[in-house]
Amino acid sequence: MYKTHSATPSKFGRPKFASKAKPRFGSGKFNNSRPRFGGNKNKSRSSGSPRIRRGERIDFSRFIKKGQHMEEKPYVSKHTFLDFPFNSQLHKNITGVGFLHPRPIQDQAIPIVLEGRDVFGMANTGTGKTAAFLLPLIEKIFKTKGQNKKETVLIMAPTRELALQIENDFKTLAFGFGMFSVACVGGLPIVKQIREIKLGVSFVIGTPGRLRDLIEKKVLDLSGCHSVVLDEADRMLDMGFRDDMVYIIGKTAKERQTLFFSATLSPEIKKLTEQYLKDPVFISVVSGETAKNIDQDVIRVKSKEEKLEKLHEVLKKDLSAQAGGRPMKTLIFREMKHSVDTLAKELGHMGFKVGAIHGDKRSRERIRILDSFKKDRINVLIATDVAARGLDIPDVTHVINYDVPQTYDTYVHRIGRTGRSGKKGTALTFVPA
């Protein structure tokens, strides 16, 4: 086919405050979870595979594989949502969002979490794990409020987008309970977050860097936190936040329920589970190493000019077509933030509807661009790995590695954004000729 090698705050939340105070931390930069103590960028990553060293040769043949286009067998759940002993308001909210049958991680995790046991769940982004921990924890807090107990749930996520996404889901699922939440992330005003915390919240959802800032400023007290969730735990380790994670967990109650969710079980993750989880139930709904529905290939180029020219050819050909009746939706990965902006400008001049996200984009702008991509107002999104981690973007038809990923694990994570739910996907990687 190609010239390739052959082989906003929710309406359910608390009313907004008219504070115009500027954030004292971050000034809009992507430092919501910056590595602090021990987050040395030269330190080896915790993803389970070494980064590619300068001059090291990567086997490009691993990027070439014909998709089998196998239809995904429907999961037969053991429960219905009505089987779960939730109160009537929560069942009403579940029906309101259109949940019919639990997804695998929900079907297996919800009963265990309701029992109060620790859980280690292996699940990829987009598998429904957010509801798997939110629903039983909302029920748990509802019951403790009835006993006049004041408890807090802490949910840690690697990126501000994922944290905001979780909080938005919480506000929808917890509608009518009188529970409040706060999203503690960088890039958004810390003054408003402090005010929300002081007014009282049941759910604290945030990124490690901002959570630690608030704890050290003696604003956030987690001593009454008896429920802790680490979402995308492997990504937080990979981004260098181990020390922050350990510090924050150490501020919670010793007697607590701890839930870890991760796409991989690296030695570092295993060590953390042994340290913090008590007799956990292990649940895995992770798919294979690479999605079977993805056509994978490489495009060899000799120069920057040829690289841009071939990208233009690929996008022009594919974006003028349809993928099984679906609008084309292409996610392009680049390594550097400035490279993301440069490519976005070049493609914009060529007439493509393109958006770009990276660490230096302000939170509101990134949320707006992601929303435009999800709603097909733009059909090309260029992103760095850090900015795209933890995001659930449905119906991506193409993933293009404009820069060669630095590890094969990163490659697998990138291309896993397409070919979901039995749909066909395409992954292309530009490599030197």
Question: pLDDT tens across 283-329, in order?
Answer: 998 755 446 788 999 999 999 999 999 999 999 887 665 545 567 89
DSSP state of 363: H
- pLDDT value of residue 106: 96
CATH architecture of 60-71+289-432: 3-Layer(aba) Sandwich (3.40)
**Cβ partners under 8 Å of residue 379, min gap 6:** 319, 327, 328, 329, 330, 352, 353, 373
pLDDT at 48 over 80: no
Query: Higher model confidence: residue 259 or residue 55?
Result: 259
Same fold, 60-71+289-432 and 81-284: yes
Nearest of 334, 361, 359 to residue 158 by alpha carbon: 359
Q: What percent of the chain shows pLDDT beyond 70?
A: 78
Q: Are strands 225-230 and 257-262 parallel, antiparallel or unpaired?
A: parallel
Give CA 373 to chain center in angstroms.
16
Domain ranges of the chain: 60-71+289-432, 81-284
**Cβ partners under 8 Å of residue 100, min gap 6:** 81
Matching residue, tokens 């009963």: 111
- Least trusted range by pLDDT, from 15-24, 150-159, 189-198, 394-403: 15-24
Contact between residue 186 and residue 19 where contact means Cβ atoms under 8 Å apart: no
**Cβ partners under 8 Å of residue 135, min gap 6:** 84, 86, 90, 94, 106, 110, 173
DSSP state of 81: G
DSSP state of 302: S
For residues 45-62, give the mean pLDDT. 50
Which of 74-83, 151-160, 209-218 is the most confident on average? 209-218
pLDDT at 14 over 50: no
Query: Higher model confidence: residue 51 or residue 217?
Result: 217
Encoding tokens for residue 385?
Answer: 């790995």
Establish how many alpha carbons lie within 13 A of residue 308's alpha carbon, considering only the half-sphere containing its beta carbon. 13
For residues 268-275, give the mean pLDDT. 92
Alpha-carbon gap, residue 230 to 78, rounded angstroms? 26
**Cβ partners under 8 Å of residue 206, min gap 6:** 155, 156, 157, 163, 182, 183, 184, 185, 214
- pLDDT value of residue 121: 95
- pLDDT value of residue 52: 39
Query: Higher model confidence: residue 92 or residue 127?
Result: 92
CATH class of residue range 81-284: alpha beta
- pLDDT value of residue 49: 34
- pLDDT value of residue 321: 59
pLDDT at 243 over 70: yes
pLDDT at 74 over 50: yes
pLDDT digits (tens, 9 = 90+) for 370-423: 889 988 899 999 999 876 666 667 789 999 999 999 888 788 878 888 887 667
Phi and psi angles of residue 148, each rounded to the nearest 5 degrees, phi first = 60, 30
pLDDT at 44 over 90: no
